[in-house]
Amino acid sequence: MNFFSSILASNRKSLREGAFLKKIPLHVAIIMDGNGRWAEKRNLPRSAGHKAGVESLREVIRACIDLGIKYLTVFSLSSENWKRPENEVRFLLKLFVETLKNELGLLKNHGVRLRLIGNRRGIPPEVLKVYEDAEMETSANSKLNFNIALNYGSRQEIMEAVKKICSDIGNNKLKYDNLDEDLFSEYLFTGGIPDPDLLIRTSGEYRLSNFLLWQISYTELYFSRVLWPDFKRKYFIMAIKEYQKRQRRFGKV
């Protein structure tokens, strides 16, 4: 039994006791924030914070599989993050590629399907190939749909959708009268993915940072002061428990 499997086995019994699993979100989205501050507090380079954040993501993925959450979407790199120092961006991209290559076997074996959401035109070709290869290799999996938002910005996403719709109407591929919210959603990077039930942001920041603005119209928001590298399994479970206390009315009484 490998480390991944042992963690799942040791926690499965306790998680499945009682009524805890009766109200599990279908889709959880996460803004993974605080890597840099975590490193600075320890007088470490920012790169150390990004490395430490990888383990938190591993634990969250394990928890999602164990709880039966079907969709997990994480904000990996925004379209604005390219403005960060060049060496940090270069390190992040290298870390993304190395981590994905190292973890791909486990993702495949545990039924995880990976999907890249974002503007692919702006991603370096060598990085994009690794992600697209992983998409193809995991395309038959269905236990957990793991969506990585890379070079993603929600306003850009909406503008791209509008342009595609205008083009399709102009080319008689789409009738104006047939356009509704559901059809519009299919033109987004997240087409075919249900809207998040729960959005988590770590590090004590209370903003959405241009993430899934269309998709989170009725999403429950959960803000944690915990920095992402410290946001291990127990804090994720706390967020799920808080979600279970919410009454979702979707505008109704």
43 carries an active-site annotation: no
Residues in contact with 90: Cβ distance below 8 Å, sequence separation at least 6, in sequence order = none
**Cβ–Cβ < 8 Å for 114, 134:** yes
Q: Give dist(CA 148, CA 150) in Å, integer.
A: 6
Q: Which DSSP state fits 229?
A: G
CA-only gyration radius of the chain, Å: 19
Closest Cα partner for 25 from 181, 241, 253? 241
β-strands 27-31, 112-117 pairing: unpaired
Q: Which of 81, 119, 141, 210 is catalytic?
A: 81
195 carries an active-site annotation: no
Retrieve residue 86's tokens: 């060049």
Instruction: Map tokens 């291990």 to a residue.
Output: 232
User: Catalytic residues, which ones?
Assistant: 33, 81
